[in-house]
Amino acid sequence: MALVGQALLSGSIQVLCEKIASGEFVDFFRARRLNHSLMDKLKVTLNTLHAVLNDAEEKQIVNPAVRLWLKDLKDAVFYAEDLVDEIDTEALRHEVKDQTKQTQVCNFLSTSRNPFNYKGMNSRIKELFERLEYLAQQRNHLGLREGIGRNVSQRTPTTSVVEEGFCPYGRDKDKEKLKKLLLLSDNESSSNFSVVPIVGMGGVGKTTLAQLLYNDEQVKEHFDIHAWVCVSEQYDALRVIKTLIEQITEKSCDISDMNSLEIRPREQVRREQVRDVSDMDSLETRLREQVRGKPFLFVLDDLWNESYDDWDRLRTLFTYGAKGSMVIVTTRSRHVASFVHKTIPIYDLEKLSDDDCWLLLAEHAFRNENSSAHLDLEEVGKKIARKCNGLPLASKTLGGLLGCNLNYKEWNYILDSNLWDLPHTNSVLPSLRLSYHYLPSYLKRCFAYCSIFPKGYELEKETVILLWVAEGLIPQSDTGNTMEEVGERYFDELLSRSLFQRPRLDQPRFTMHDLINDLAKFVSGEFCFRLDLEQSHEASKRVRHFSYVIGKFDTSSKFQPLDGVKYLHTFFPVSLTPYDPREGEVYVSNKVQDDFLPTQKYLRVISLSRYRNITHLPDSIGNHIHLRYIDLSYTTIKRLPDTVCTLYNLQTLLLLGCYSLVKLPADMRKLIHLRHLDIGGTRIKEMPVHMGRLKSLRTLTAFVLGKSTGSSIAELRELSHLRGKISILNLENVVRAIDALLKDKNDLNEVELEWGYKVLHDSVKERQVLEGLQPSVNLVKLTIRFYGGTSFPNWVGDSSFPNLQVMRLSGCSNCSSLPPVGRLPALKELYVEGMEFVTSVGVEFYGGNQPFQSLEKLQFREMPKWEEWLPSPSGGESPDFPRLKELIFDQCPKLRGSLPTHLPSLEIIRVRGCEVLHLPMGTLPWLQMLETNFNGGTEWLLEMGHNTNRLQHLTLSFCSSRLSFPTNGLPTTLTSLRIQGCRKLEFLSREMMAKLTSLQSLVLTESCDSLRSFPLGIFPNLSSLTIIHCENLESLSVEGGADENLSHLNSLFILYCPNLVSFPDGGLPTPNLTSFEVCGSVNLKLLPDRMQTLTALQELTIESLPNVVSFAQGGLPPNLQSLSICDCERLRPSVEWGLQGLVSLRQFWIEASKDLLETLLNEQLLPATLHTLWISWVWDLKSLNGKGLEHLTSLQHLDIAWCESLKFLPKEGFPASLSCLRIWNCPSLKKRYLKKRYEKVAGIPCIVIDGEVNIL
């Protein structure tokens, strides 16, 4: 049973009546001879129905007939909205026609595609009137009366984040019990970590308790690393691990950084192709490295997944932490808790007492007021608190409701409401129904719409508001506030009432508690349909708002539940993770945009964001006259049809990241209601003419100037409401002088000014242009690129910009000096790059005494003539950079002399391509990361060892002289060491290696030519070893007593070491090795013995080993998940490998070996559990043996690449499980299969041939 809220109808009816009564509407009707008297009758009927809505909302609780009547009325009101919007749009079209003054021929052509049917409109109005009149008659039979119901006062909340200063009523004992468990340094667990499972019903406060523990100061100090993941119902292992890494490192997790071993072009291509499947392995390796040997506290909040295999894979990663590490798991499922816990008992979280519920309710009801001022409410308040059934969520939301009217009569009315007596349908608590029931009408509509978002989805405030505006849920304000500002106020009110939550105050993302999400879905009823991953039931024909969780391949079958739906307003795919271009691509069936969407004539919102096969929009998009919101971000769309410019209601057009888009339609000026246009990341060459006519624009991320056509920069003057970010590009095309173009745009906080790269500069003119582009003093971020003036205007670096935090000066090649940016009081990040004529940085840079008081990051790049950096005029009395944390020099080949020595906060130094720069260390007490060209010699290394006691990451690059490490070795705090291009460097002695007890990662690249044998097991805690292009390395050895140290090693990569001939006798004593790769060792004949003993190994790659004939005589590692055999021409598969028994093997890559491939297929040696198979660079392969694939019943992805002789796919077809077939650079196959889906590939959901995608 779903209740249809009066507010869902009230607001719509009010807007309809206002539109019908408006002078513009009446004039348009009379001028077109439409039946205005019928519209008058329609308005009267709507008002009649509106008058009984309050009574209907109350009676629907107990009367199913009233509930059905309300649903019928809601459907009719939706139809009326569409009808009135259609008339409104026709009137708007005439307004645009008059404004743009097009010729009669042009007007005819632009409207003839979808002419307005005046004659049919009268009959449609009559049909609607009869439908509403019937419902009006029914109201009498149902006994609905006018003037019934009461309104709750709409007091504006005093704070938008009520969680601040939150007091955990009733949870002190729970917190202390669990805190003792967390702080227990030694426990009975045989594993390095323990799980604390917290179990309880929804809304009982599991997450809140976990937050209290996670943020406790003692707990924070006890663990070295901390991370929190909201898992939710849609379990995604990749997202969970990625989030853990990002929280540990406090930066975005760049998967490409983890695969930094690309050497040859072919290897790079191979890695690029497998990226989306191998990301999991890369992430797991990264997480192991992060937790290795460290005590950690992780929280897995709201875990639902009951798959023990998924948990076991995650659990294995946690075992690499130090003993005493802890994982808090919150879950509603006792089954989940039973298999995650080991030694620590399951903690059952009980409900709150009635007294604690009252205290919590009172805190949210009275907010900043003293509750003693309302003693008359205490008795009734405590009675309401008892009805909360001990659930904090219910107490908070009811408190938010009651706080809107501190009136005894209203509180008593809520206490006596019939809603308390309803059964708990669909997990919706009566207390939550009440919180919704008494919301102000304007909030009800917005809240119900949020049912389109799945559980666990992170709401972006701006996106939600733009959707509300597009759906007509935000009215035009009488107070002068914009719709976006009104929407923001609505959002903050829902947040203050605990219907939205903000998990972290330092992040601008919001969530809905699962039970609140259930409530939204409940109240939106059949009009909102969310297609979750496990859901497939048919949608109601009345559905207006549709959303779904985006998948890898969204085939047409996914949308079958929408068969028969004709009146969609919203088509909105969602993803539980933010967009990341490094992650796998997603595709949607061509039938969605070609067949399904054109039938949905009433759409307000369309999103096709992220789909890589969206290359165009059909011309028929112009028929969707109701559209307000189009999101094509991160698609490969190449053009927008001209018919987009007939969408006169369009408010939001998002084209972010559409890198194939080079042009906007010429008539963009007609979109007079456009408010948000995002073209960031496109390749648009110029703006269309008359962009200044789009006076409603608030967001314009880029303005591109053409050489002789398109909009001039003066058009920006007309766009007075711009806010946020703008990039003004191709400024060399400015023709006339400009003055104070941006200075009065106070809401622009990020400005980028860019001239063309490698154009002929007019320094005087460009100085004038930059002078005229002075931004508002509210600016937060400024970028100037390729400016051709010889000096900067006075405003650049002026202290009158008190909020400027980030500045980037890039490619300003004619400037011989830097502006006085040291005077900027709030500047935190400064990037200076490509300043070709700067030879000295000195007084002009600092701008006076005590400069750079806020600067945290300073980067200089590509400064080819820069020779000296002079100290500031302060004379060293105080630090010039008191807060500087990161200092970067890259490609400054002539820079010499001393750098600032007093850097008390410095944590990171990176120096690359600075051949003559010496790096005196001074005292750097907080230095943690150092990357350098290593030009300082042994003395410099000695100084570093003495003056840095926190150094964790050290990279030494491209030293040319013969050097050796100091006798006392490197700092023992090091956790990672990378040496590259230092061929004459003597490697560490065994004594030095043994002292590096914290070292976890070692990378040697083209270094240490004297190294003949690498001693495995000398480093006490090494977990990752990579050796690349070490020309003279002949062997890896294991010395006595090293076995314990080798138990820490989990990844080993030996790449392009041509003289490597042997591994340790008896195999690798590395029981926890998970990744092993050997590549390009042309003299190697034997791989390690006893491979079957490597039971932890998950990923194995052998490549370009021409002399290896056989390996794994005793069998392959039993738990292998990924296997790559590439370009090993003499290698033949053997039954001894035991491939068919590798039940964990999911990925197999075969490259450049026809005999190996044909043997595997002919003898059916591949395991049936295989998920992904790659076949590449098999030049002489002519056909595939389909019988070798028939038994692969789990195969989902098959890639075939660079097989130029391959002409035929298997005549037997492919396994029914195959979801994606990708073919690259196979010309014969392309010719045969690209244009037509032959029978043998007809059932495959996704086929990609040289980038051309075909989705069923």
Q: What does the block give as tokens for 945? A: 């060892």
Predicted confidence at residue 595, as pLDDT, reads 92
Report how far apart, in Å, the C-alpha atoms of 56 and of each of 68, 145, 420, 523, 1034 are: 10, 8, 18, 15, 86
Contact criterion met (CB below 8 Å) for 328 and 196: yes
Orientation angle between helical segments 408-415 and 378-386, nearest 10 degrees: 20
List b or e across 1192-1204, with b for residues whose CB sees 16 or more CB atoms inside 10 angstroms.
Answer: beebbbbbbbbbe
What one-character DSSP code corresponds to residue 155? P
Q: What is the DSSP string of 1214-1254?
A: --TT--EEEEES-HHHHHHHSSS--GGGTT-SEEEETTEEE
Separation CA 249–CA 975 (nearest Å): 14
Q: Cα dihedral angle (257, 261, 266, 272), rounded to 10 degrees?
A: -20
Token pair 């309809």: residue: 16
Asked whether the beta carbons of 231 and 415 are under 8 A apart, the reply is: no
Q: Are strands 1220-1224 and 1197-1201 parallel, antiparallel or unpaired?
A: parallel
Q: Which two tokens stand for residue 825?
A: 């009081």
Please name every residue paired with 833 in a beta bridge, in sequence order, or none if there are none. 810, 861
Angle (CA) 566 571 573, round 5°: 145
Using CA atoms, how far apart are residues 575 and 905, in angstroms rounded to an integer?
39
Distance CA 746, CA 724 (A): 10
Other Cβ atoms closer than 10 A to 641: 15
Residues 6+ apart with CB under 8 A from 718: 692, 693, 695
For the beta carbon of residue 1077, count every other beta carbon within 10 angstroms: 17
Dihedral sign for Cα atoms in the order 182, 183, 186, 188: negative
CA distance linking residue 177 with residue 183, whole number of Å: 10
Integer Cα distance of 870 and 355 in angstroms: 68
Distance of CA 389 to the CA centre of its chain: 37
pLDDT at 366: 87
Q: How far is it, in rounded angstroms, from Cα 619 to Cα 223?
A: 59
Helix 237-249 × helix 308-318 angle, to 10°: 20
Which of the 8 DSSP states describes residue 834?
Answer: -
Rounded (to 5) percent helix, strand, coil in the chain: 35, 15, 50
3 state DSSP class of 578: coil
Dist CA 1145 CA 1168 (whole Å) = 9
| 3-class secondary structure, 381 | helix
Q: Of all helices (H) and strands (E), which one includes residue 1255?
A: strand 1252-1255
**One-letter amino acid of 952:** Q
Tell me, what amino acid is at 411?
A: W
Sign of the torsion angle spanned by Cα atoms 827, 829, 833, 838: positive
The closest of 161, 203, 243 to 502, measured between CA atoms, is 161
- Closest listed residue to residue 129, CA positions, set 43, 70, 30, 50: 43
If we measure between CA atoms, which residue out of 516, 546, 416, 396 comes closest to residue 456? Answer: 516
Report the distance separating Cα 1094 and Cα 427, nearest Å. 48
Distances (CA, A) of 1118 to 29, 1094, 1135, 1141, 1173: 78, 8, 14, 8, 19
Average pLDDT across each block of 10 residues of the chain; the chain has 1256 residues. List them in order: 55 82 77 77 89 84 86 91 88 79 41 58 87 91 77 38 55 91 67 87 88 90 90 80 86 52 42 47 78 88 82 83 89 86 87 92 82 83 90 88 84 82 65 81 91 92 97 84 94 88 77 88 90 73 94 90 94 88 82 93 97 93 96 96 96 97 95 97 95 96 89 92 96 86 94 90 91 95 96 94 97 94 96 95 88 95 93 75 93 84 87 79 78 61 64 85 74 90 88 89 93 91 93 89 82 95 90 93 91 92 91 87 92 85 93 89 91 93 88 93 90 89 88 65 86 84
CA distances for 1031 relative to 171, 1005, 1010, angstroms? 63, 10, 9
Q: How far apart are CA 813 and CA 834, in angstroms?
A: 6
CA distances from 993 to 48, 479, 565, 1189 (A): 87, 72, 69, 49
CA 888/CA 890 separation, integer angstroms: 6
Contact 1248, 1225 (CB under 8 A): no
CA dihedral 326, 331, 333, 338 (to 10 degrees): 10
Q: What is the pLDDT of residue 1044?
A: 81
Alpha-helical runs (H) found in 236-328? 237-249, 255-258, 265-291, 308-318
Q: Would you call 691 helix, strand, or coil by DSSP?
A: helix
Q: How far apart are CA 31 and CA 41, in angstroms?
A: 19
Check residue 533 and give its pLDDT. 55
546 alpha-carbon distance from chain centroid: 22
Give the pLDDT score at 273: 45
Strand partners for 652 = 629, 676
The CA distance from 1090 to 535, in Å, is: 47
**Secondary structure (3-state) at 983:** coil
Q: Return contacts of 117-120, CB within 8 angstroms, 24+ apart.
A: 118/32, 118/33, 118/34
CA 430 to chain centre: 35
pLDDT of residue 167: 63
The two beta strands, 1246-1249 and 1220-1224, are parallel
Reference 1197, options 1168, 1213, 1218, 1224; nearest CA is 1218
Structure confidence at residue 536 (pLDDT): 58
